[in-house]
Chain A
Amino acid sequence: MKVTADRSRCMAAGHCAISAPAVFDHGEDGLVVVLDAEPGEDQRRAVEVAENLCPSRAIALLDASAAAPAQGAPPAG
């Protein structure tokens, strides 16, 4: 599992740091910081919650077998 966070989309809502504190934090500017870009499977649920809650779609969970999602693709809803 790989995790990415797009700081250019981040609006400092903070849900990622609450749902997956082992994976996400925020910097002094309030924007997301990825603590662990390849977390263990025990973090999957937490990262899924973070990805779902992020209001600006800055968080992406990538499985090893999947292609990276296109930037700017319409949200999955």
Chain B
Amino acid sequence: MWVSADRERCISGGRCMAATSEVFDQDEDGIVVVLTSNPAPEQEDRVRKAAYLCPSRAIRIGDGPAGG
């Protein structure tokens, strides 16, 4: 799976980081930072949850290697 985040859309809801701090972090302005665009298989469920919960739908996911 690949994951990316739209930093313009991020409103610092923090749900992504709460779902998995292995894949998502926040910079000092509270805006999302994606730590890896190809998360390990065991992270996939949590990444899906992060995308689902994101208050501003800033997280995008897809199958295959990094894209989008």
Asked if chains A and B are in direct contact (CB within 8 A), the reply is no
Interface residues, chain A, with chain B CB atoms under 8 Å away:
none
